[in-house]
Amino acid sequence: MATVVELTSYPVKGCAGVPVSDALLTEAGLRHDRSFMVIGEDGECRTQRRDPRLAVIRPAIDLDGTRLTLSAPGEGEVAIDIDTTSTRREVKVFHNPFLGIDQGDDAATWLSQALGAPSRLVRVPPEHDRVTEGWIPGTCGYADSGAVHLVSRASLDGLNRRIAEAGGAALPMNRFRPGIVLGGWDEPHREDRIRRIAIGGAELGFAKLTGRCVVTTVDQSKGVKAGPEPLRTLAGYRRGPDGATLFGCQFSVTRAGKLAVGDEVDVIEWDGPPPGE
């Protein structure tokens, strides 16, 4: 039986994750996930692809969801009241246009100093109604493409065995920045075959396999690129039909509900017969 072994929310796109023992899974993902985004002067999102130092910026949101604190090594911290009512401005996620609410000059000054480039912080407006594509469509905040990124430990174990065989060092799960990690399976990439799944009080539907990029080569504890792994090894055995390097899956939320580490996983529908049958 598979169970949830890790839950991680990423309140600010590209910044450090926040491990949680339980969380509300909303239609847009784990509560607060990618609800904030750092942008440059042109309104385009900053990501670890070009700004790997984002990885060491740690966000924390108060329990009532009204105050955000950002901290980073050597930079101290900044705390702001979360603004959900001010004028919307145009922002972009990989050139796709959305709206955001600017979170003020204090956050902008702190981020610009921490990243060494002019930056501002925006929040998803309450009326945000993005539709994400996939086998089962859904919605999300400022995530790349979907509400939930799910990976099994067996998949990482299988990858690390291959890296070790080539003389490399094992990588931690945080290189892939998943929201939900499952344990209890021995077969790598079994999650690829899930089509509908129930966990705790929530249900999810498969959207697509996750194409991987250079962010997976960023050491999340140091905020620096440390490639070429895992992309070099994944490219040898996890290529999609379009040439994308694959690891993990994107899921849409079909029923919101509460999740907790230790929850058992009920796969409602597989692609093909259930494993072992």
User: What's the pLDDT band for 227 if we cut at 50, 70, 90?
Assistant: confident
Q: Looking at residue 275, what is its pLDDT?
A: 86
Q: In what order do the strands lie in the sheet with 18-20?
A: 18-20, 3-9, 180-183, 148-152, 246-255, 202-211, 194-199, 265-270
Measure the CA angle with vertex 173, ends 171 and 178; round to 5°. 150
Hunting for tokens 């992309």 — which residue is that? 231
The tens digit of pLDDT for each residue in 133-181 reads 999 999 999 999 999 999 999 999 999 999 999 999 999 999 999 999 9
What's the whole-number mean pLDDT along residues 66-93? 98
E strand segments, the chain = 3-9, 18-20, 22-26, 29-30, 36-39, 58-61, 67-72, 76-81, 88-93, 96-102, 120-123, 148-152, 180-183, 194-199, 202-211, 218-219, 224-225, 246-255, 257-260, 265-270
What's the whole-number mean pLDDT along residues 255-270? 98
Q: Looking at residue 277, what is its pLDDT?
A: 53
Distance CA(234)–CA(245), nearest Å, equals: 6
Q: What are phi and psi of 166, to 5 degrees?
A: -90, 5
Q: Looking at residue 276, what is its pLDDT?
A: 72
**Beta bridge partners of residue 45, listed in sequence order:** 39
Sketch out the chain's domains with CATH numbers: 3-28+132-270 (2.40.33.20), 34-129 (no CATH)
User: What's the pLDDT band for 89 if we cut at 50, 70, 90?
Assistant: very high
What's the whole-number mean pLDDT along residues 80-98? 97
User: What are the C-alpha distances in Å from 2 to residues 127, 133, 245?
Assistant: 36, 27, 25
The count of residues in the chain is 277
Q: Looking at residue 274, what is its pLDDT?
A: 87
| Whole-prediction pTM | 0.97
212 pLDDT more than 60? yes
Q: What are phi and psi of 171, to 5 degrees?
A: -110, 150
Tokens at 205, concatenated: 């539907």
Q: Which of 95, 215, 83, 99 lies closest to 149 in space, CA to CA?
A: 215
Mean pLDDT of the chain: 97
Pairing of strands 148-152, 180-183: parallel
**CB-based burial, 22-58: b 16+ in 10 Å, e otherwise:** ebbbbebbbbbbbbbbbbbeeeebbbbbebbbbbbbb
